Structure 1
Amino acid sequence: MASASSRDREDALASFAANNHSQSSSPITVADPLALYSEPSGSAPGSFQNEDLLLGAGGGGDGGGDAEFFGFSRPEFRQAQLAGTVQFYKRHVFLCYKNPKVWPPRIEAAEFDRLPRLLSAAVVVRKNDMRNETRLTICEGHDGTETSNGDVLIFPDMIRYRRLTHFDVDTFVEEVLVKDGEWLPGAPESLNGFYVFVCSHGSRDRRCGVCGPALVSRFREEIELHGLHGKVTVSPCSHVGGHDYAGNVIIFGPDFSGAISGHWYGYVSPEDVPILLEQHIEQGKIVDWLWRGQMGLSEDAQKKLHEQRFQLEGDITVNKGKEPTGTWVDGSRTDVFETPVEVMACCQGNGSSSCCQQPLLSERTDEKVVKSASGRKTNKKLPRTKSGKGVGARKVCSMPTWLESWEREDTYAALAVVFAAVSVGVAYSCYKQL
């Protein structure tokens, strides 16, 4: 039985190498058409791949040429629609293994990196037996840390298994991914807080090699500045699909209802990192203008949810670090910060809250938060600007006030109660006079 399983796994690996097909957001995928690296056959025997080979090819480098053509200022940056670019899946498995500098372009097929090769092949063989559509991605591993080599992180389960070896692959896949049970002798450990993964697979695509490391560094800096050390963990990861959307970021953690969600962001630049930490992680709001999609939703559902959030009432201009334009309100100068695209940050999850169901009135003005020269915040009705590639307003979902949620039927019911009480009082008064 074991030999048959091994043959199936090796057949799956050979088929993958020959056909190069799988889900676009799994590391066992077709290379992006714009990937610019050659693909060496594997790592050095029993060890890490030659770093000089990868770095010499431009993997992970951020030199002048790479930064200009493959970084955040590349010509095609932020030129494509993001919402709906995540294929449907329900479970994400991350194998901690070495680091991006030594990952070959196809680490899941590298001859001498047996653990990721055998695990990815086993997932392919058993994927039809799994109740949950599963994706496998490699993330950075360092022995003696929270993500040691061989550790496996599973979302949305928020669990970790320690020190998986290539000898354990078949049993692990069978017990955990197929039967949804526990792997013994290993025991699952609970994960807490938020986990951020940044595609930094430079040997697969130079855009990820340039953008990824810069984003990881900025995340780590901002995590310290925001006092989120121990609450937010960031890690480089291998190919997740959509090279042209680099920087690609995935955030796993509790949403506004406490359920674990996984949200994908694209075209993320270092300047966007504080916004993701403040809005998505600290406030539980989707940063919609960078949002690619969500684990557990189909592409169509992602697009529909994105459009629904864009039709919420309650537009608030938020400072994105751009230069303010002067405006005069009530005789004093105010600063309204302009942003390059119209965006919205709203409720995480499936949009079932009342906040995410408020329709947009076609003809109205928006309540915009403006800041006066003295630092005082002022609410003032300002004309709405249409979205576009130029100046727009970033939206933040605001909850309706008590008066706005008071329906006409409620008014009639209240009046009926008042009239009934008056009638009873008058009748009782007349009765006493008899």
Structure 2
Amino acid sequence: MANVENLSAVPASEDTEFGFKRPEMYSTDIANSITSYGRHVFVLYKTPEAWISHVEEEGLPQRFATLLKDRKSELLVQTKLNVCEGGGSDGDVLIFPDMVRYKGVKDTEVEGFFEDVLVNGKPWRSGRQEKLSGTFVFVCTHTSRDKRCGVCGPVILERFKQEVGSRGLSDQISLRRCSHVGQHKYAGNIIIFSPDSAGKISGNWYGYVTPEDVPELLDQHIAKGEIIQRIWRGQMGLPGGVAEKEHEQKVIPNGNRAAEEFTGGCCQGSNGVSCCQDENPKPKPIKKEGKCTKWFQPLDKEEIYIGAAVVGAVATIAMIGYTIFKRSG
């Protein structure tokens, strides 16, 4: 077995500034420090050593990032994008909580893939896909973006590899280095996608993670599904904990979302909050209790004609009566 202390070591010259002994560690309550979202896409691309600071601004990740921004209002659920190490499989795409791996998406295929899978919620027509199983742990090691992640991430990953190997779990837990997940000050940052007791996939974020936390994450979170509150940042899921069926939305043929209450265009706000306004607002009928409600019901054409005749007759009689009254005066 490898020496755990060596795997957990950060050079003293870096530890107090970028590592696990920096003053900002544990200085903030990090619970619920992620925005609500319902789907996470990881694009396999090169290695962390080759990533530029904003890796989503080059190559295949850029194609995905541009479409996510331009077509945000068409997505069925709030979606996050990250890059993870390719390992010889550049172009593969992992999607959670769907637990699906699409193989070898090329630059020229991104738009069709996006339309099929992320907008319409259907399998990719090219069909190169496989079902995923087990647990996936993503560790932010994006050193070109922030040195704290570059210092902490690799050490945490090495401890995971050592612990997973010693427990004989290598075929059940997949470990991957990933790009910036937000809030470098919380490094080490990790995301765990694993099934709960009912088999449903949840995505839990942890921050301020140290190598010493790894055994507990394996024994408590992954093995038992128990959240470790002191380092927990939040969970992938629908806004406000609303039941999933309450957020179902219809998809019309052109791929746009069509909620029952909207007839016009739509824009998607942040944190799952929509800033949509009906382009053609329709006044809602005034409801009244009791028999008076009848006056607000639509009339048939014949009823309108009869009503007009009655009103005209009443007006004529009133005019004659007024004339006779005036003459008699």
TM-score relative to the length of structure 2: 0.69
- Corresponding position of 1:131: 76
Cα distance in 2 for partners of 1:107, 1:62 equals: 26
- Corresponding position of 1:190: 131
Within 5 Å, give how 1:195-206 maps onto structure 2.
195-206=136-147
Q: Which has the larger Rg?
A: 2
- Corresponding position of 1:119: 64
- Corresponding position of 1:293: 234
> Is 1:98 aligned to residue 39 of structure 2?
no
- Corresponding position of 2:156: 215
1:164 to 105, 113, 133: 105
Classify the secondary structure of the residue corresponding to 2:16: helix
Cα distance in 1 for partners of 2:183, 2:45 equals: 22
The number of equivalent residue pairs is 234
| Structure 2 stretches lacking a partner, 5+ long | 1-8, 243-329
- Corresponding position of 1:323: none
RMSD of aligned C-alpha atoms?
1.7
- Structure 1 stretches of at least 4 aligned residues deviating more than 2 Å after TM superposition: 61-68
Cα distance in 2 for partners of 1:212, 1:190 equals: 28
| Structure 1 stretches lacking a partner, 5+ long | 1-60, 303-434
Name the amino acid aligned to 2:121.
D
Cα distance in 2 for partners of 1:168, 1:186 equals: 12
Q: Deviations over 1:302-339 (max 9, x none)?
A: 9xxxxxxxxxxxxxxxxxxxxxxxxxxxxxxxxxxxxx
Cα distance in 1 for partners of 2:216, 2:135 equals: 15
2:25 to 77, 91, 110: 77
Cα distance in 2 for partners of 1:293, 1:155 equals: 16
Q: How many Å apart are 1:290 and its aligned residue?
A: 1.1
2:196 to 251, 255, 259: 255
Q: How many Å apart are 1:135 and its aligned residue?
A: 0.6
Cα distance in 2 for partners of 1:297, 1:212 equals: 28
Cα distance in 2 for partners of 1:62, 1:161 equals: 37
- Corresponding position of 1:65: 13
| Percent of aligned positions that are identical | 48
Name the amino acid aligned to 2:20.
F
Q: How many Å apart are 1:297 and its aligned residue?
A: 4.7
Tell me which moved more, 174-183 or 119-128. 119-128
Name the amino acid aligned to 2:213.
D
Classify the secondary structure of the residue corresponding to 1:229: coil
Greater fraction of residues in helix: 2
| CA 1:71–1:301: 2 relative to 1, 3 Å | farther
Q: How many Å apart are 1:88 and its aligned residue?
A: 0.6
Name the amino acid aligned to 2:188.
G
Cα distance in 2 for partners of 1:170, 1:79 equals: 43
- Corresponding position of 2:318: none
Tell me if structure 2 keeps the 8 A contact 1:249–1:265. Answer: yes
Cα distance in 1 for partners of 2:47, 2:24 equals: 28
Within 5 Å, give how 1:390-429 maps onto structure 2.
none
TM-score relative to the length of structure 1: 0.52
